[in-house]
Each structure stands twice: as structure tokens, then as C-alpha cells.
Chain A
């Protein structure tokens, strides 16, 4: 079983590295630096405005620490066929999961350390906490989280119950209480509760080794969802095969397709328009990026940063539309249609022009809101238009060609 785990972990990590390498290309690094820069700029500005502890300071710290503790669960790396092929090995799976749990403690530890580190500036300034208290709470939280991973393990066995209450709920309540007590009164509470919780759950999960019965369906579904979330994240930056997204009818938007006449030339526009609107993945991406862009533009007071945000986000949305074209091109039936590749690309460009124009108009409104009708606004907006034209008429047609066959 341990061999199986190690083998899977190796394959999983290899996969992750492959995607990470794809993600950390020039585009992303550029976007990432700008984003981090903008956020850092905003954070230090914010800290500069705080001169004495705020009333809401501690509640904010508690909330953020609570959320940070929710990050990361057990990566079981289970696969759907396991429930058929490895059913006979069920008893031995405990050791497999034990190894999985150890491996899975890495992400939460790093997350909690990082969040606490970044939050410490605000915690000392805005919430009036002592640095030592912050460190103590951080260590307590990490111990607590290590205990909490046992809850994930017990859920796989369908045993995460505390009386009639779900263990997850009880744990989170305990966490909130511990956080409140340790931020307001006595910071060592977090470590004490964390240790008690950790030892209690470790003892609890030991019993699974002899008497546990796996909830296969739940375990596999949870792992699939976890994988899906990771892949969907990667999919924001690069093409990930096998990411199927949810589809909604959205009948109330049917009016949008009215202008598309039912003629041969419009075959692909007909298809692309409906697909884009109904596939949560693509419309979701467009909406998220457009809203984030608009908010950033409406808040940031710096001409150069706004200029970069305007250009970068329009490019990003255009860039992220490519996988949708690829997805449709992978449908076998459409390859049989008596329609040329040129028409397919032309139809897709029509759709992307409409989408990027909407984004451009929204961003222009945000810019006018922040900079007024000034020469600066005009420069930013024209730069956005230039990116829009570049993406639709130079970048896209070349890039899409390689997906045709």
C-alpha cells in the first residue's frame, strides 16, 4: 500500500510540476508581479492610514485566520477504478491514508505560516496585538490544523461524528472560540486547545485501522472535486485536459443570440455564442476578470499601474478564450462539417471581439470614474483598444490555427 501511495505521489508531483512549469511562463510572471505589486502597494497604503488599534481589528484577524485554517485537506489521490480493483485491499488502505495525511500537512503549514506572517503587520498595528502573541497563535493554529486533518481522514471512513453532530462543525466552533479567547485575552489558549485537539483526534483516528470501513463513493468524489479545483485553477493559465465544467441553460439570455441568423455562414458563431454563455467556465472567467479589473481600475490612483492593468486584463481574457475554441475543435462531428477552418476562426474572432469589447467598455467606465475625462483616461482607454485589436486580429487567428486539426 505504501508503495502504491509513493508511486501515485510521484506521478501526481510530476504532473503538478508539468503544469507549474506551464503556468510560470512569461505572461503569468508579468501578471503575477503586477498583481503582487498592486496588492502590496494597497496593503502598505492601508497600514499607513492606521494610527491606533481599530475596533474591528481583532474580528478581522480572527476571520482571516479562521479562513486560512480551512485551506487544504487530505490529498488521497484515490482514483475511480480503485473502488473496483482495490476493494479487496480495503483494510490496508489505512496505512495508505496515513501517508497521504503526512504529505497533506505541507500545504496547510505553509499557508498558515505565510498568512500569519503577512497578517502580523496588520495584527500589531490594527488589532494592537503583541508580536509574541501572534507567533504563539500561529503555532497553535498549525497544531490545530494537523489535528483537523484527522477529521478529513475520518470523513473518508464515514466516522466523522461527534455524538450526532458533524465533527467538522464541532471542530470549527472550537476553532472560533479558541481564536476569540486567544486574541482578546490569553494567546496560549490556542496552543493548549490545539494540542488537546490534536492528541484527541489522533487517538480517535487510530481506531479506524482495525474497525474502519471506507466510504468509497464519498472518498473518490471528494478527491475528484479536489483535483477538479486544482485543475480549474491551472486552467486559468494553461490548457488542462479533462476539465469539464458545469453547463446552465440560462434561457433568459436567449435573446442574446437573436441577431445570429440561421444561415450556413453563422454555423460556428451560433455554436460558440451559446457555448460561451452557457458554459460556467468561460463566462465565469470573463465575468471574474472583468469585475476584478473594473474594481482595480476604480481604486488604483496610479496612471502607470492602471495602464498595465487595463492592457493586461484585456489580453488575459483574450488569451483565456483560446481553450474554448480548442474544446469545440475536439468535437469529432464538427470536423465533418463542410465548412472551412478559415470560417471557424472568423466566427470565433467575431465572438471574441464582442466579449473583449464589453470588457473594454466596462473598464473604460471604471477609468472615467477614477481619472475623470482627462488625457490620462484617454491614453489608458486607447491602449486598451489597441490590445483588443491586437488580440483579435493578429494574435488569435495565428494561435487558433494550430487547434484546427
Chain B
């Protein structure tokens, strides 16, 4: 699986938030999408999953765009939004069934995956609950389960660490690692730099809707003229100070 974002320009309405963004996510790579509030992380993600239409440039997954084959493109992606979005009228069990139906997945095999994930996140005894009875963190876990039980090859997670308890963060990182070993790719946007620094292979730094820099931690240090022992936080602050 390869995701290619080429010269992506776009945004909401008439305003272009993104200006000619270019980066790639390769097979088996975990990529961190990093930037200040309002830099354009979520907008980038919304373009990739197809909720927004690019005004210019291209987004390709394994060489095909959303325009080429909508269903094929969408089946390759699993998405966990920043704010959990659930159906108020469906129970947890029904959310899983619905996802299986929507993505035309193998019922028994997917349930096997789902059960494992549900157990990990301690949701296995809440299958008959409605979303209104879940806390925010629990809802987020439901979103994670519904995304990671599918056989998608690109996982896109928007701000996964806020709102989750430390145990769940750890569990999520393990699941991400597992998917990575299986050859899937993961793109996650986050502000929790210390965590992402240890678990991502590559970082894409976004500022004012443009890719300021991308690469591994060492490559970034070189680009920003930083010392050997500096970390992602230092780079981030340096990037933010460039505006001043």
C-alpha cells in the first residue's frame, strides 16, 4: 500500500487551507502528521478520505484516485475521526455488524478480530449498550475497534491519544505495530509528540497548509540545524517560531 499526496490544494468553501502539499506514506510505514492547531492536519485527512474534494493536485492510493474507482478506494481506508461519530440508534454490536455489511467483510472472520479488539479495550461486556451510555474515551475505543477489525490497508487516525487512558494508548500502539508488521500503513495526526516520536517511522510537519519538512527524526534534525540530542518537541517549537 502506498499513499501519494501530490501538490494537494484545497479547503472548505472558497478558502484554500492547503497549498500544494506533497508527501507519501509507504507500505509498512507509520507516519506522524504534525502541526499547530489550524495548520491543516485534519483538512489534509479529510481530503485523503474523500470528504473534501481537492481543488488541485492528486491523491493516489496504490495508484488509484477516488475518482477512478470510489468503492475500491474507500475499501482500502479505515478512518478513526478526532471526535467519535456513532449512530445514536445502534448498539455497539450493531455498529460492528453494520461496518461488516458496509465494507462487505467476512462476517465470522471479522467478528473474531473484533472480539479480540473488544477484549483488549474492555468493551466485550458492553455489546448491547447505546452510544449515549459510553464516555468519550469509550466511544473513541469503539471507533478504533470498528476501524482496525477491517481488512483496510491504510489506517488514518486523527488525534488518537487525547481522551484515551494510558492503558488504551499503549494498546492502540501495539495494534498499530501489529498492522505495520502485516504490511499496512498508518497515518496519524497528533499533538502528543513524545509518543509519536517513539512510534512513527516518519514525520510530516505541516505549517500554514504547506509541508514544511518531512522525513525521519534524524533527517528533520538536519533540516532544522538542530543538535543530535534534540527531540521532536524542539523541532516543533523551532518551526513554530519561524513565523515570528
Contact = CB atoms under 8 A, between A and B. Distances in A.
Contacts of B49: 336
B51 A331 contact: no
B102 interface: yes
Interface string B74-112: 110101010001111111001001101111100100000
Nearest to A260: B101
A267 interface: yes
Given A270-B101, A274-B90, A336-B79, A331 B130 contact: no
Nearest to B102: A337
B101 A262 contact: yes
B107 A262 contact: yes
A262 B100 contact: yes
Contact of B101 (A267, A328, A336): A267
Contacts of A336: 49-51, 74, 77, 79
A396 B207 CA distance: 45
B174 interface: no
B223 to A, nearest CB: 34
A264 B104 contact: yes
A174 interface: no
Interface string A259-295: 0001110110011001100110000000000000000
Interface residues of A, number: 25
B74 A338 contact: yes
Given A274-B94, A279-B89, 10 more contacts: A264-B101, A264-B102, A266-B101, A271-B87, A271-B98, A275-B89, A337-B102, A337-B103, A338-B75, A339-B102
Contacts of A334: 102
Given A247-B132, A262-B107, A279-B89, A338 B101 contact: no
Interface of A: 244, 247, 249, 262-264, 266-267, 270-271, 274-275, 278-279, 328, 331-340
B71 interface: yes
Closest 3 CB pairs of A and B: A338-B71, A275-B89, A338-B74
B185 to A, nearest CB: 17
B70 interface: yes
Contacts of B85: 331-333
Contacts of A333: 79, 81, 85-86
12 contacts: A244-B88, A262-B101, A264-B102, A266-B101, A270-B101, A271-B89, A275-B90, A278-B89, A328-B87, A336-B50, A338-B75, A340-B70
Interface centre among B88, B98, B101 (most CB of A within 10 A): B101
A247 B88 contact: yes
Interface centre among A244, A247, A279, A340 (most CB of B within 10 A): A247
Interface string B102-140: 111001000000000000000000001010100000000
Contacts of A338: 70-72, 74-75, 102-104
Given A279-B89, A339-B102, A270 B50 contact: no
Interface of B: 49-51, 70-72, 74-75, 77, 79, 81, 85-91, 94, 97-98, 100-104, 107, 128, 130, 132
A339 B101 CA distance: 10
B87 A275 contact: yes
A224 B229 CA distance: 55
Contacts of B74: 336-338
A74 to B, nearest CB: 30
Nearest to A334: B102
A333 B85 CA distance: 7
Contacts of B107: 262
A275 to B, nearest CB: 4
A278 B74 CA distance: 29
A271 B101 CA distance: 10
A267 B102 contact: yes
Nearest to B72: A338
A136 to B, nearest CB: 51
Contacts of B75: 338
A275 B132 CA distance: 14
B81 to A, nearest CB: 7
Contacts of A339: 71, 102
A328 to B, nearest CB: 8
Nearest to A333: B85
Nearest to B53: A405
Contacts of A335: 51
Contacts of A340: 70-71
Nearest to B143: A333
Nearest to B46: A332
A274 B89 contact: yes
A332 B104 contact: no
Given A274-B90, A331-B87, A337-B103, A249 B130 contact: yes
B66 to A, nearest CB: 11
Contacts of A331: 85, 87
